[in-house]
């Protein structure tokens, strides 16, 4: 099939590569020429394990093309995926300007029947708005071309995006016209051979499924964070609590890891957008509203743990900056809040290192106020404390004896629970966790 994907970010690029991998002809469109140039040369502008192999293979096979030419890209696809960003706007709503701009462009250039698929995470009712925009552009052109707007939310996780896209837990299609449904079923046929469910429903329900799923996961993380905070006060161990809770099949152990709060490109903005939708329709999302507040508090609490334990400040190594391992995405990462609060005290000398997110971090964090290190060896010198903000595999094996040598009687703020308290304490280090 001929597929166009608009937007080559974490979702659009991986979707484009996935469709090409299954033998479709794919054109990926983006407005950033440098990204397109990079991709044409077989280089991935984002860090995502496995993506560059797919890119190289599918470019070689001639199944994927990258362009900045909107007309060409819109005319190409029989199915057009919208995978542009929907960031948070000033009020906490989803900013739909990129989605609506794409809808206008589709209306401006479409030349035959198209199935338009909204893959971006968008508030309930957006598919209908997209259809209206396309229709009004067609009317302006005096054209009568049929089209269907459908919803196909994406559930991939950054860092595991390739595997998640090629082998999804479920595929959700919000589609009303059987003609469009047939095309989408054909496209996704190869994906569901593993007997994973394909849920075909209305666009509104599909849009809600995405928000409800993300809000639920954010709630689960926040729940265990609050349990961990209480464990700290009452002398219980949150890791053991989470493990025992997770053994219950109804609960599952996933997303039950206490930490410095969730971040990333999705949970923060999607919980806020859902809360805003609830308020708009007079059906308040009180649980989600609490989750948003509790998560902001959790990031502050992580910073306060360090500040109150080091009232005179000192030299601290921040291990990990990305919002989670295996990605270079820094959006809403807890490290941003923690570093900001430490800097505000004017008492800390902060060294930072992340295996993949150094470049993105330099665009977000105050570049001149931090010491940017090249590797783990480089950062673990001349320090009084270590704070783990991202649980990258390469930090897990740090030896307690080595750490004790580098910073005798130093402090370990193990905010991701990657070390063993007993081992660290036996080496003479002070171990500070969250609920453990």
Query: Count of CB atoms within 10 A of residue 75's CB?
Result: 17
- Decide if residue 152 touches ligand NAD (CB under 6 A): no
- Decide if residue 32 touches ligand NAD (CB under 6 A): yes
Query: Count of CB atoms within 10 A of residue 107's CB?
Result: 25
Chosen residue from 27, 58, 67, 120 binding ligand NAD by CB under 6 A: 120
| Residue sitting closest to ligand NAD (CB) | 9
Task: Tell me which residue of 326, 334, 313, 328 sits closest to 389, measured CA to CA.
Answer: 334
- Decide if residue 164 touches ligand NAD (CB under 6 A): no
Judged by beta carbon, residue 85 or residue 168, the one nearer ligand NAD is 85
Cβ 272 to ligand NAD shortest distance, Å:
12
Cβ 32 to ligand NAD shortest distance, Å:
5
Q: Binding string, 254-293, against ligand NAD, x = CB under 6 A?
A: -----------xx---------------------------
Cβ 292 to ligand NAD shortest distance, Å:
16
Chosen residue from 3, 5, 20, 29 binding ligand NAD by CB under 6 A: 29
Cβ 277 to ligand NAD shortest distance, Å:
14
Cβ 210 to ligand NAD shortest distance, Å:
7
Give the angle 93-98-103 at the CA atoms, nearest 5°.
115
Question: Are 133 and 107 within 8 A, CB to CB?
Answer: yes
Each as own residue / partner, the long-range contacts of residues 426-434 (CB below 8 Å, 24 or more positions apart, any chain) are 426/400, 427/400, 427/401, 427/403, 428/404, 429/400, 429/403, 429/404, 430/309, 432/305, 432/309, 433/258, 434/225, 434/228, 434/229, 434/232, 434/238, 434/258, 434/259, 434/260, 434/301, 434/302, 434/305
- Decide if residue 110 touches ligand NAD (CB under 6 A): no
CA 109 to chain CA centroid, nearest Å: 31
- Tokens representing 389 are 């903000």
Cβ 223 to ligand NAD shortest distance, Å:
22
- Decide if residue 118 touches ligand NAD (CB under 6 A): no
Beta bridge partners of 205: none
Chosen residue from 8, 24, 27, 151 binding ligand NAD by CB under 6 A: 8
Query: What is the spatial order of strands in the sheet that 147-151 belongs to?
Result: 64-67, 25-29, 2-6, 79-82, 114-118, 147-151, 171-174, 198-201
Judged by beta carbon, residue 121 or residue 298, the one nearer ligand NAD is 121
Site for ligand NAD, residues 65 to 84, rule: CB under 6 A? 83-84
* Distance linking the first and last C-alpha atoms of the chain: 52
Asked about 266 being catalytic, the answer comes back as: yes
Contact residues toward ligand NAD (CB under 6 A) are: 6-12, 29-32, 35, 83-86, 98, 101-102, 120-121, 154, 156, 158, 265-266
* Catalytic residue ranges: 266
């Amino acid at each position: 099939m001929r597929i166009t994907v608009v937007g080559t970010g974490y979702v659009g690029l991986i979707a484009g590569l996935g469709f090409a991998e299954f033998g479709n002809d794919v054109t990926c469109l983006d407005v950033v020429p440098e990204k397109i140039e990079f991709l044409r040369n077989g280089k991935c502008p984002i860090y995502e394990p496995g993506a560059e192999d797919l890119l190289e293979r599918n470019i070689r096979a001639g199944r994927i093309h990258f362009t900045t030419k909107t007309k060409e890209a819109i005319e190409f696809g029989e199915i057009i995926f919208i995978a542009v960003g929907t960031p948070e706007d000033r009020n906490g709503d989803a900013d739909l300007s990129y989605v609506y701009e794409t809808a206008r462009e589709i209306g401006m250039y479409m030349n035959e029947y198209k199935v338009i698929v909204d893959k971006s995470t968008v508030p309930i009712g957006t598919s209908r708005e997209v259809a209206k925009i396309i229709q009004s552009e067609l009317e302006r052109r005096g054209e009568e071309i049929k089209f269907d707007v459908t919803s196909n939310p994406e559930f991939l996780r950054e860092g595991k995006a390739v595997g998640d896209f090629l082998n999804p837990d479920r595929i959700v299609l919000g589609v009303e016209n059987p003609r469009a449904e047939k095309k989408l079923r054909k496209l996704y046929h190869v994906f569901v051979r593993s007997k994973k469910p394909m849920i075909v429903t209305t666009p509104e329900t599909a849009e809600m499924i995405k928000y409800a799923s993300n809000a639920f996961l954010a709630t689960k993380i926040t729940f265990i964070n609050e349990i961990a905070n209480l464990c700290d006060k009452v002398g219980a161990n949150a890791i053991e609590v989470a493990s025992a809770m997770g053994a219950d099949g109804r609960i599952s152990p996933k997303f039950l890891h206490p930490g410095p709060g969730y971040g990333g490109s999705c949970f923060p903005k999607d919980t806020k957008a859902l809360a805003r939708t609830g308020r708009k329709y007079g059906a308040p999302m009180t649980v989600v509203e609490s989750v948003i507040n509790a998560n902001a508090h959790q990031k502050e609490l992580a910073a306060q743990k360090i500040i109150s334990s080091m009232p005179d400040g000192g030299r601290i190594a921040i291990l990990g900056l990305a919002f989670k391992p295996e990605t270079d995405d820094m959006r809403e990462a807890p490290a941003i809040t923690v570093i900001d609060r430490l800097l505000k005290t004017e008492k800390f000398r902060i060294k930072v290192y992340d295996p993949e997110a150094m470049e993105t971090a330099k665009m977000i964090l105050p570049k001149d106020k931090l010491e940017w290190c090249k590797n783990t060896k480089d950062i673990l010198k001349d320090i009084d404390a270590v704070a783990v903000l991202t649980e990258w595999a390469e930090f897990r094996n740090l030896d307690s004896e080595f750490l004790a040598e580098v910073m005798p009687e130093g402090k370990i703020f193990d905010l991701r629970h990657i070390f063993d308290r007993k081992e660290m304490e036996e080496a003479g280090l002070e171990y500070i966790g969250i609920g453990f």
